[in-house]
A and B are shown apart, each in its own frame.
Chain A
Amino acid sequence: MPITYEAVKRLSAQLYDWSLRRVPDDTKLGLRRALEAETHAGARQVLKMMLGSAQRAEQDERFVCSDAGVPVYHVTIGTAARLEGDIKAAIADGFDELVATISPPLLKHVTNPLTNERGHKGKDMPLVTWDVAGGADWVEILCQPKALGSGRWAALETFSFPSLAQIEEYVMKVVLQAGSQHCPPVIIGVGIGGSFDVAARIASKATMRQVGSTNPEPVLAAMEERLLRAVNATGFGPMGTGGDTTALAVHVDYASGHGYTPVAVCFNCWINRRTRARLHADGSVERFE
């Protein structure tokens, strides 16, 4: 069976809707672990309230945050998948359908950067990145709506043959710049190398990884562990009112490059909006989160 326009459209709308009403399980587990380890009394209260808000959102199918963000999708197409219809249009049409039907309504967050006018539609919206999976017969869609806490504080700087010390110092510089503005505890993505756009994409993709997962590359796993300790030693804490929990995870990945090395750092706020599902050749939908 081919993977159809209709199936992609429906799933694009559903993934967005689901992401607004549920904090991913790995993230809730990360918050619970943080609560166990947290020594600051005020921070413990904020973490408890976060878990309470996540639970209440799920139970009552309510939005966790009032800022539903703008639609951002990451699509991976298997090279053996048979497609029917305009898959690209299906994602935009799925979002349009969601805007028309969702309750409570989505606020107009899509902003024209030249005029600051806001609406539900705009040039290149939804923002979609495309990837290919060799041999697979499925299409995977990941939805990660972006608002202030999951986009505004990202930064990138390009170095020449940097040492790990320089790279890690830069990560800390961006962490201090963001301070408490992004609704911590955050998930931090770091992308090293490649080119300007590739580093940014790697950082963004790194935030999509499961909280609590270990990087398969030992060098990166060690780097993630020490950066997480470093970020949490800053003391900003949950919602920036003090504590040991400023980040739930730091995820690092890299690509080879030329020797000039872009380092990109980005953040996802504590609710870590993210849903992912696969459309299979037999017509089934496999939901991951």
Chain B
Amino acid sequence: MSDAFRRIRMPMTREEARSLRAGDIVLLDGEIVITAGLPTIQRLVGCAEAGRDPPIALAGGSLLHLGSYSRDTADGGLEILYMNPTTSTRFNALMPRLIRHFGLTAVGGKGGLDAGCVAAMAEVGCVYLSFLGGGAPLHSAAITAVREVAYPDLVAHYRLVRLAVEGLGPVTVGIDAHGNSLFDTLQAQARDRLPGILDALAASRDSG
């Protein structure tokens, strides 16, 4: 089934990010940068504020809310035992700064980001990629190499990690670079539908 999806080479170009639309489903190849840690995101904001380079280059790249667990291998490398998304909305307050400062072209995780982030993404040309929660066996299988690990003082899933992946996904473009967020649209749609849904519940109670 994987061949049916558009494949995106990561880090994606700004043009490619702008070419995607909310609801598109894609597969990722290339290199991604990930972390699931709030302390990590705070450190990166610290880098942005102090004008310091982050330990792994982020400019024009991706920063995905994925956590990984790795162990050292005999040859001095790292083996990723599992990788899975975390809830992105936890980072709502900090992401606009990172998106703008590093000119990120892709962020992601699960659950989406808020309006402040959506605005920053539209300004910069950045998309949000929605990963399957509970998809650890599939996401982990797409990793081909661990390129770089930063912040080793943090627990494994909080570390900043640069990975090579092949066929990661499919992932859904949850927020595009044109201000469209599936998460916001669907929340608004659910609110609009609520009066009708309550009417249907009442009709069902009456007929029962």
Identify the A interface with B (CB < 8 A).
23, 42, 45-46, 48-50, 52-53, 56-57, 60, 62-67, 104-105, 107-108, 148-149, 164-165, 168-169, 172, 176, 179-181, 183, 222, 226-227, 229-230, 233-237, 239-242, 269-271
Contacts and interface: CB of A to CB of B under 8 A. Distances in A.
Given A165-B202, A176-B191, A183 B110 contact: yes
A237 B138 contact: no
Contact of B132 (A50, A164, A172): A50
Contacts of A46: 132, 172
B182 A235 contact: no
Given A64-B136, A230-B197, A242-B186, 20 more contacts: A50-B134, A62-B82, A64-B137, A65-B133, A107-B156, A165-B201, A168-B201, A230-B201, A233-B193, A234-B189, A234-B190, A234-B194, A235-B189, A235-B190, A236-B190, A237-B186, A239-B130, A240-B130, A269-B133, A270-B133
Given A226-B205, A239-B110, A240-B111, A52 B138 contact: yes
Contacts of A229: 200, 204
B42 interface: no
B22 to A, nearest CB: 9
Contact of A235 (B71, B82, B155, B193): B193
Interface of B: 1, 23, 25, 36, 67-69, 71, 81-84, 86-87, 89, 110-112, 130, 132-138, 140-141, 155-157, 170, 172, 174, 182-183, 186-187, 189-191, 193-194, 196-198, 200-202, 204-205, 208
Given A107-B157, A172-B197, A236 B186 contact: yes
Contacts of A45: 25, 170, 172
B170 A67 contact: no
Contact of B136 (A66, A105, A230, A237): A66
Question: Of residues B87, B155, B196, which shows the largest number of chain A Cβ atoms within 10 Å of its Cβ?
Answer: B87
Given A56-B141, A236-B190, A65 B130 contact: no
Given A180-B112, A242-B23, A234 B136 contact: no
Nearest to A177: B187
Nearest to A163: B205
Nearest to B184: A179
Question: Of residues A105, A108, A183, A269, which shows the largest number of chain B Cβ atoms within 10 Å of its Cβ?
Answer: A183
Given A172-B194, A233-B193, A179 B136 contact: no
B70 to A, nearest CB: 9
Given A181-B111, A236-B186, A239-B130, A226 B191 contact: no
Contact of A53 (B137, B156, B198, B205): B137
A65 B134 contact: yes
B95 to A, nearest CB: 16
Contacts of A222: 204, 208
Nearest to B169: A49
A280 B84 CA distance: 38
Contact of A271 (B134, B157, B190, B202): B134
Contacts of A179: 183, 186-187, 190
A235 B87 CA distance: 20
B89 to A, nearest CB: 7
7 contacts: A65-B134, A107-B69, A183-B133, A226-B201, A229-B204, A242-B182, A270-B133
A53 B138 contact: yes
Given A66-B67, A104-B82, A241-B182, A234 B172 contact: no
